[in-house]
Amino acid sequence: MSASTSTSTRDTPAPRDIPRPGAVRLTTAAITTLVARDLLRFVRQPSRIVGALSQPLLLWLVIGSGYGGTMRSAGEAGYLGYFFPGVVAMVVLFTAIFSTMSVIEDRHAGFLQAVLVAPAPRLALVLGKTLGGTLIALFQGGLFLLLSPWAGFPLGSVHWPAALATLALLSLGLTALGFALAWAIDSTQGYHAVMSVLLMPLWIVSGAMFPAAKGGGWLATVMTWNPVAYGVAGLRRALAGGDLAPGLGVPGATAARELIVCAGFAVGCIALAALASSAPSRRGRPARTSGAKP
Amino acid sequence: MADVVLEARGVGYSYGARAVLSEVSFAVRRGEIFGLLGPNGAGKSTLFGILSGLLSPRTGALLAGGQPVDPRSRAYRARLGVVFQQPSLDLKLSGRENLQLGASLYGVPRGLARERIERALALTELGERARDKVEKYSGGMRRRLELARVLLHEPELLIMDEPTQGLDLASARRLWRHLGELRAERALTILLTTHDPIEAESADRLLILDQGRVVAEGSPAELTARADLGGDIITVEGDDPAALASALSAGLGVSAKVTEPETPNAAPVVTFTAPRGHELVPRVVELFPAGRLRAVQVRPPSLGDAFLRLTGRTLAGDSAGVAA
C-alpha cells in the first residue's frame, strides 16, 4: 500500500544532504536524554522523595509494631524485621508507579508528542523512561535499606551485592510494567484504579506482609507464580546475610532461582512495554482543552 | 518545475468505517509556506498526524525528493521539525533545558547544540529567561521556545499545527514575522494548518480541505479569484434581516441573502455581492428610513468568502451554513 503509486521519474534535485545521525547514536542519545530528564525532575520535586518514603515508613512502624505480638512465627527479628523487606519492595513499587504515571501526564501536557515524532525508535522511549524510573526506585529503595539495623539486620551482615541486584531487577520489572500500563490508560484516575486492583495485590500476596505458611496452602501456590514474591524473598535472604530460614521465602526457591525469576520478570516487562508502545499511543494527541495556558 | 520537498499522492485515512481523509494530493515546494486551510473536522489534524510521522496513511503515499517514504521511518522524521497545536515543552524544566532536550533527542552533537542553543535564545529574545522554568512563560514565549527547539536539528521541512491558536494578536504577528525571516534565511520550507482565513492569506499557497477532501489548491489570490465571487461583499445589518434581504433584492436587483455571522452569538446579517460595491452603498442607505439599518460594510472578497463559496460552509464552525 505504501509505495503503490508509481515512482516518480521526474528529475527532482536531491534534497540538501545534511548528515543525519545513525540509529545507534539516536537511540543512546534519546535514552540518556530521557533518563536525565527524569532524574532532573525528581531532584526538583523533593515532595516525591518524601511521599515515596514516608508512607512505607509509617506503615512499617505502625503495622510492624502492631502485629509484633500476634506474628510470633515470623522469625527472630520480630515482625518489624519480617515486614522490612516487604516495605522496601513497597517503596520500589510506589516509586515505579509515581515515575510511570508521568507517561500519562506527559501525554496530557503534550510533551510525549515531541518524543514520539523524534527519530529515535520507540524502544528508546521505553528504555529511557524505564531506566530513569529504575534509578529513582533504586535510590529510594537503597535509602530505605539503610534503616535495616532498626529492623534487626546490622549493615555489616547484609549481603549487599545480592540486595542491590534484587532491588535493581525488581525496580526494572515494576517500572516497565508500570510503563506498559500507563501507555494503555488514558487518565491518572484510571491508573490509580489499576494500581489498586493489580499492582498492590501483587505486593500483598508476595509474602511481604505474612509468610506463606500463615495464608494456608493458597498463598504458597500464589507466591510461586508471583514474580514480586521472589523479589521480596531475595531481599529477605540478602538482608539476613544470604541464608533464609525455611518457611520465610517462596516455598522451594533458592537464592539463584530468586534472582533468575527477578531477571526474567524485568526482561518480560520490558518486552511487554516495548510491545505496548509499538502500537499508537492511546491518544495520538493531547486533549485540546487540557494543559498549558499562560 | 520547482523543487518539491514533500508530496502527497492520494492519501486516505479512516477510523474504522469512518473515512476522514480521501484522495488527498498536493506538493510542497522548497522554500514556500504551504497552508492547509479548513474548518475543524476537515481532516487537518489527521493529515497532520500522517505528515508528522505519527500515523501511516491507509491509502496513497508520501514522497520526499520524488521517492516514496514511510512517514514513520527514522530518515523521514529526522528531516522534519514538528510544532503541535499545544506546546510539547516540559514545563518543569527551564527554557535552556528544553532546548538541550530537543537537540539531543535529534542527536545533535553536544558542542554544536550548545552553539545553536545560544543563537536560538538570542534570536527568540528568550536569553534572559533561559534559566526560568517554562511554566512561568507566557503563551507567546512558549511558542517561540517550541519553534526554536524544533529548529535546532535544522530540519528541511517545518510543519506546524494551528501555530497561532490561542496567541494574542501581537504574538501571532511576531511569530509570522519570525517565520518569514527563517524562510528567507535558510530556505526553510513550512507547512502549516489553519482554520483562520486571515492567517491563511500569509501563506504562499494553500490547500483547501473540507470533509477530508481537497476542494481547491492555489495561492490566496488565485483561490479568491477562482471562487468567482462576483465583486465586493456588502454586508447589511439591521432588525428583521429576512425583510431587509427581500427589500434589497427588489430595490437593487441583487441577490441578497441572510447569512449566519462568523462570530457566535452575533445576529444574522444580510449579504450580497456586486462589482464596484462602494457605488451601491448610497443606494442601500437611501432604500431605508433612518434608523432601519445598523451598519453597512463593503469589503473585497476574502479567503473565508472563497471557502464559503467553494464548500457552502463557513470556516468558523462545522455546520454553520447559509441560512435560508
Distance CA B196, CA A97 (A): 42
Each residue's pLDDT tens digit, A139-161? 999 999 999 998 989 999 999 99
Kindly tell me if the per-residue pLDDT of A76 is higher than 70. no
- Asked if the model's pLDDT at residue A198 lies above 50, the reply is yes
- To the nearest whole percent, how much of chain B has pLDDT over 90? 41
Q: Give the model's pLDDT for residue B173.
A: 86
Q: What is the dihedral of CA A255, A260, A262, A263, to 10 degrees?
A: 140
Does A282 score more than 70 pLDDT?
no
Contacts for B319 with CB less than 8 Å, ≥ 6 apart: B313
For the stretch B176-226, pLDDT in tens is 888 888 888 878 999 999 988 888 888 999 999 999 999 899 999 888 887
Euclidean distance between CA atoms B30 and B204, whole angstroms? 11
- Interchain CB distance below 8 Å, A23 and B74: yes
Give pTM, 2 decimals.
0.81
pLDDT of residue A248: 84
Cα–Cα distance measured from residue B149 to residue B87, given in angstroms and rounded to the nearest whole number: 11
* CB proximity list for A44: less than 8 A, separation 6 or greater: B92
A198 to chain B, minimum CA–CA distance in Å?
A: 30
Q: How confident is the model at residue A71 (pLDDT cuts 50, 70, 90)?
A: low
Identify whether the C-beta of residue A277 lies closer than 8 Å to the C-beta of residue A126: yes
B319 vs B22, B154, B171, CA distance in Å? 20, 40, 30
Contact A12 B4 (CB under 8 A): yes
The terminus-to-terminus CA distance of chain B in angstroms comes to 45
User: Which pLDDT value is given to residue A70?
Assistant: 55
Pairwise CA distance, residues B149 & B147, whole Å = 5
pLDDT above 60 for B323: no
Task: Please state, in angstroms and rounded to a whole number, the distance separating the CA atoms of residues B172 and A147.
Answer: 56
B55, B82, B142 member nearest A284 (Cβ): B55
Cα–Cα distance for residue pair B76/B57, rounded to 1 Å: 14
Ranking A267-276, B48-57, B90-99, B269-278 by mean pLDDT, the lowest is B269-278
Among A6-20, A99-113, B293-307, whose mean pLDDT is lowest? A6-20
B70's grid cell: 514511510
Terminal alpha carbon distance of chain A? 44
Buried b (16+ CB within 10 A) or exposed e, B294-309: eebebeebbbbbbbbb
- Cβ distance of A15 and B64 shorter than 8 Å: yes
For residue B186, how many C-alpha atoms fall within 13 Å in the half-sphere facing its CB?
15
Looking at residue A214, its pLDDT comes to 65
Nine cell digits for residue A275: 510491545
The answer for A 35-74 residues in CB contact with B (under 8 A) is 37, 40-41, 44-45
Subunit contact A113:B78, Cβ cutoff 8 A: no
Q: Minimal CA–CA distance to A173: which of A253, A93, A87, A254?
A: A93
> Confidence band (pLDDT; 50, 70, 90) for A14?
very low
| Nearest beta carbon to residue A286 from set B60, B79, B86 | B86
Distance CA A180, CA A170 (A): 15
Q: Is the pLDDT of residue A129 over 50?
A: yes
Inter-residue long-range contacts of A195-200, CB under 8 Å, 24+ positions, other chains counted: A195/A97, A199/A93, A199/A97, A199/A174, A200/A93
Mean pLDDT, rounded, for A38-51 = 86
Gap between the Cα atoms of A90 and A209, Å rounded = 11
Average pLDDT over residues B271-278: 86
Mean pLDDT of A27-41: 93
With CB atoms and an 8 Å threshold, state whether A37 touches B101.
yes
**pLDDT reading at A11 higher than 80:** no
- Please give the pLDDT value at position B303: 84
In the predicted structure, residue A74 carries a pLDDT above the cut 70: no
pLDDT score at B174? 84
A111 pLDDT higher than 50: yes
- Answer for the pair A228, A207: CB distance below 8 angstroms, yes or no: no
3-state secondary structure of B37: strand
- Distance from C-alpha of B19 to C-alpha of B207, rounded to nearest angstrom: 19
pLDDT mean over A250-271: 93
Closest-approach residue (CA) in chain A for B159 = A117
Tell me how many degrees the CA angle A86-A88-A91 measures, rounded to the nearest 5. 115
**What is the nearest CA distance from A54 to chain B, expressed in angstroms?**
24
Predicted pLDDT at A216: 65
| pLDDT reported for residue B47 | 94
Nearest to B243 by CA among B191, B308, B287: B287
DSSP labels, A162-230: HHHHHHHHHHHHHHHHHHHHHHH-SSHHHHHHHIIIIIHHHHIIIIISS-GGGG-HHHHHHHHH-HHHH
Residue B280 has pLDDT above 80, yes or no: yes
pLDDT classification of A69: cutoffs 50, 70, 90? low
CA distance, residue A44 to nearest chain B CA (Å): 8
Lowest mean pLDDT among A176-180, B5-9, B80-84, B196-200: B196-200
Taking residue B86's Cβ as centre, other Cβ atoms within 10 Å add up to 26
Do B65 and B28 touch, CB atoms closer than 8 A?
no
From residue A12, alpha-carbon distances to A155, B1, B11, B187 in Å are 70, 9, 21, 17
How much is the ipTM here?
A: 0.79
Distance from CA of A274 to the nearest CA of B (A): 16
Cα angle B290-B291-B294, degrees, rounded to a multiple of 5:
125
H or E segment and range at residue A97? helix A78-109
Q: Which of B20, B104, B160 to mutate to test the interface with A (most CBs of A within 10 A)?
A: B104
